[in-house]
Structure 1
Amino acid sequence: MTRPLLRDLCAALAAAVLVAVAVSVGRHLQDTRHTLFVNWPPLLATWGPHTGPGTPAALLVAAAVTAYGPALAVRLPWRALLAASWGAATAWIVSLALVDGWQRGIAARLTTRHEYLRVVDRFDDIPGTLRDFTHHILLDSPDNWPAHVAGHPPAATLTFVLLGRAGLRGGGWAGAWCILAGATACVAVLVAVRALAGEGLARRAAPFLVLAPAAVWMGTSADAYFAAVAAWAVATLTLAVTGRWVGWAVVSGLLFGLACYLSYGLTLVAVLGAAVLLLGRSGVRARPVLVVALLAGLAVVPTAFTLAGFDWWEAYRLLVTRYRQGAGGVRPYGYWVWANLACTVLITGLATAAGLRRTGAVLLRRRAAPRGDVRLALLVAAALVAVLAADLSGMSKAETERIWLPFALWLLPSCAFLTHPRAWLAAQAVLALLLNHLLRTGW
């Protein structure tokens, strides 16, 4: 066994120990103090071994990607690889969701009392609802919004309102939207990695993006859709700074603006955006033009919502107050500030822990490392900074297995640095299958 591989295994073992400690300490705190408000800490889940109609398909997808994914990622034409990655990621997400059956796994997920579909009928007058939105955020306000509606800017709920108006009503269509859109996030990450770090690294990362344990929470969670919007915002920005086409910068700005009105926490995607601007090869003269185009696109969505009567900053201030009023506010920061990182291990897998070790090694010897490796390492490091900022903020106590999907997906490309990809892919698949079959997750 080589020394780098041994160090990889030590990193994976350390990540597994972190999860084990978070589970044992969390169970003790929840059983004795009842302050965590999750039944299987650090995850919002309950113990319940089960199988379902998606089990055979999940096993088949896992085996196929593990066995053939690395080779196909090298051989397929680039566009075919992107299409295959989206298709395989969709199959992985759907098969895992169907382990719980169609109703519980997909159709009913976004119809529970905390979810968006419970209030779509209150958006009959969209401009009026936007003007009145902040009046229903606090728990003691009349007709207060359900948790997820209050916890996000109105673009999140408006997405499902507009789906309904297009004739795609109900939880089944909403779930399908989140799955199909969310699965494109892996394509966006591949596009960005190729543009910044080179096609070789993107191809090596592809199977790990497809077979991510995060798929357990991408079917069905609106955060999968949010992750895709954020991922494409970053990807189009990489195309702008590497291809020098101003149009991509405008599109990126539009998507960044939309992301901020889907979830307050997605403002942290700016960390990834800043990294892309610094890493881009657009040149000193072209960069100011791209920044202006980016800001022009960025202004569109906030301006539209502000003119419609929604005040983002006031809504966020009220949300912080509501957070302190409810369950999220009494969850102990001292536990979740490190247990959230255990959740990140579970959604990114032990392979990513090893990949992050390799990322650190690349940064330490960046003068001798290939330029593409350094660029990828810096992009992954930016995602890690965003995760740590979200963690230290205290606004993400529990449920980060879904909330941090937009950032966690950018940690997965670190697996491109790993040797023995099939063994690591098998570890990723086993983790996802165990989580989905042993636990009944909240999403």
Structure 2
Amino acid sequence: MRVGRKEATAVAVAVVLVVAAFVVPHLHLGIVTPLINATPQRLRDFAGTAPIFGWWDAHVGWGTVPAVVIAVAAVLWGQSVAQRLPWRWVPWVTWATAGAWAFSLAMVDGWQRGFAGRLTARHEYLQQVPTVTDAGEAVRTFASRILDYQLDSWITHVSGHPPGALLTFVWLDRIGLGGGAWAAVLCLLVGSSAAAAIVVAVRALADEVTARMAAPFVAVAPTAIWIAVSADGYFAGVAAWGIALLALGVRQKVRLPVLAGAGAGLLLGWGIFLNYGLGLMALPAIAVLLAAVDWRAALRACLPAVLAALAVVAAFVVAGFWWFDGYTLVQERYWQGIALDRPFQYWSWANLASVVCAIGLGSVAGIGRVFDKTAIRLRPGLHLVVVGALLAILFADLSMLSKAETERIWLSFMVWLPAAAALLPPRSQRWWLALNVAGALALNHLILTNW
């Protein structure tokens, strides 16, 4: 395999970054460390495998064989299947493969530890669901319960997000699908559907050939380790379909761009009530608008999108929750916790190392091809949306509100990055895909990921 200068440079920088992030915590460099003011036990619990959040635990499970089979099949036949399938089947097969890949990786840790029990941990949403007897009252009083050290404070994950996240699991419970397994299924199905949304968006923003080349990379991306199972996988799926619908609208790939724009606005509007950080999805959305056929097409999709998003905001205002109140209070709650002991001097760059681990070196090689000045001047959609996702990650990093666990927290931005591998020379793509899946398998079998 002949490696071009751009991808070689990108991968070399990424490797150095990851190695440094894993090694530096053991060099005792003062505040350039993942955790300060920590006992040895607390260091093991919260920073033992920094920059990844988890514990060293070389293990296998019944998901190991299916995961390896899916990985090998994707490398050997993924490209040819993606090229030969009728287009209408490509998003569906991509979604199915992504779901099977994510579920297999989760099952390496076992049914309870890796799947059904993930969302029932003491800091997770499902612990709070039984306490919500009146959803309307919960929304009205939501902001007042965000800060810690109150008798009725929300638990960690609930307090750190807008009420839409909790409401989702409350509604799931109300329709008879309560418990960790059903919540995990929701996150898995919606989260893995992001792969299909990205393929649809790439076809709209670039062309069908590029979308077919992107399909294997997004189907077996290492991000699947955190999609199954975390609520952030669900958030990523919602945001991905919002961007995909916007892309279909601005590129006039549907009969009714206005409806596509409205759908995009509803999903992206709902997204900011799932996760405050999804406000940064405005950057990929702007990238999509820049790739519009013309300004009229952009306006036809953008206007209904904005109106639909405002309708979601208005619904929460009427229900008694003002987004900016929650955002202000959640920043205060953030600094009431472990964030004070996570130095920015380490996490400002180690966060980016966790991104490399979560997307794979093959995706990094593709990103090396994105920064082509000539191509960007022509406003190609795939280049722009990847740059938009990277800018979202950069702003999230500089905010100092994301220190550690970013391999999960930034899923909504990171799921777009493996699509950049479609820009690599076709002859080399199989090898880069192999590197991605090998990295995912190694990480998943050596570290018991936690969040």
TM bracket, shorter-chain basis: over 0.9
Whether the aligned pair in 2 keeps the contact of 1:27 and 1:41 (CA below 8 Å) is no
Q: How does 1:98-117 map to 2 (within 5 A)?
A: 98-117=107-126
Whether the aligned pair in 1 keeps the contact of 2:7 and 2:367 (CA below 8 Å) is no
Q: How does 1:339-350 map to 2 (within 5 A)?
A: 339-350=350-361
Alpha-carbon distance change, 149 to 365 in structure 1, aligned in 2, over 3 angstroms: closer
Aligned partner of 1:326 in structure 2 is 337
Gaps of 5+ in 2: 28-32
Q: How does 1:176-325 map to 2 (within 5 A)?
A: 176-243=185-252, 245-281=257-293, 283-325=294-336
Query: Matched residue of 1:100: which SS?
Result: coil
Query: Matched residue of 1:440: which SS?
Result: strand
CA distance in 1, matches of 2:340, 2:313: 28
Q: How does 1:411-430 map to 2 (within 5 A)?
A: 411-419=417-425, 420-430=428-438
Structure 1 residue 30: deviation in Å? 5.2
Aligned partner of 2:30 in structure 1 is none
One-letter amino acid of the structure 2 residue matched with residue 67 of structure 1: L
TM-score (norm 2): 0.93
Query: Matched residue of 2:416: which SS?
Result: coil
Whether the aligned pair in 1 keeps the contact of 2:63 and 2:110 (CA below 8 Å) is yes
Q: Which segment drifts farther, 292-301 or 53-62?
A: 292-301
Q: How does 1:1-400 map to 2 (within 5 A)?
A: 2=2, 4-28=3-27, 29=33, 34=38, 37-243=46-252, 245-281=257-293, 283-360=294-371, 362-364=372-374, 366=376, 374-400=380-406
One-letter amino acid of the structure 2 residue matched with residue 399 of structure 1: E
Alpha-carbon distance change, 32 to 277 in structure 1, aligned in 2, over 3 angstroms: closer
Deviation track 1:107-165 (CA, whole Å, cap 9, x = no partner) reads: 11000111000011222101111111112111122221111100000100111111111
Query: Matched residue of 2:203: which SS?
Result: helix
Deviation track 1:36-78 (CA, whole Å, cap 9, x = no partner) reads: 7422101111101000010010010001011000111111111
Whether the aligned pair in 2 keeps the contact of 1:214 and 1:405 (CA below 8 Å) is yes
CA distance in 2, matches of 1:365, 1:26: 40
Whether the aligned pair in 2 keeps the contact of 1:387 and 1:404 (CA below 8 Å) is yes
CA distance in 1, matches of 2:37, 2:20: 17
Q: Which segment drifts farther, 432-441 or 415-424?
A: 415-424
Compute the RMSD of aligned alpha carbons: 1.7
Gaps of 5+ in 1: none
Whether the aligned pair in 2 keeps the contact of 1:324 and 1:330 (CA below 8 Å) is no
Deviation track 1:163-193 (CA, whole Å, cap 9, x = no partner) reads: 1111111000100110011110011111111
Alpha-carbon distance change, 311 to 427 in structure 1, aligned in 2, over 3 angstroms: same
CA distance in 2, matches of 1:307, 1:7: 51
Structure 1 residue 5: deviation in Å? 2.7
CA distance in 2, matches of 1:58, 1:306: 45
CA distance in 2, matches of 1:151, 1:408: 20
Query: Which residue among 405, 430, 446 is the counterpart of 1:438?
Result: 446
Whether the aligned pair in 1 keeps the contact of 2:94 and 2:219 (CA below 8 Å) is yes
Alpha-carbon distance change, 115 to 194 in structure 1, aligned in 2, over 3 angstroms: same
CA distance in 1, matches of 2:446, 2:226: 14
Whether the aligned pair in 2 keeps the contact of 1:254 and 1:298 (CA below 8 Å) is yes
Report percent identity of matched pairs: 45
Instruction: Tell me the matched-pair count.
Output: 436
Moved over 4 A (4+): 30-33, 364-367
Whether the aligned pair in 2 keeps the contact of 1:363 and 1:377 (CA below 8 Å) is no
CA distance in 1, matches of 2:302, 2:35: 52
Matched, 1:402 2:412: no
Whether the aligned pair in 1 keeps the contact of 2:288 and 2:384 (CA below 8 Å) is no
CA distance in 2, matches of 1:266, 1:72: 33
CA distance in 2, matches of 1:414, 1:190: 11
Query: Matched residue of 1:138: which SS?
Result: coil
Query: Matched residue of 2:161: which SS?
Result: coil
Query: Matched residue of 1:299: which SS?
Result: helix
CA distance in 2, matches of 1:82, 1:394: 36
Alpha-carbon distance change, 50 to 132 in structure 1, aligned in 2, over 3 angstroms: same
Query: Matched residue of 1:232: which SS?
Result: helix
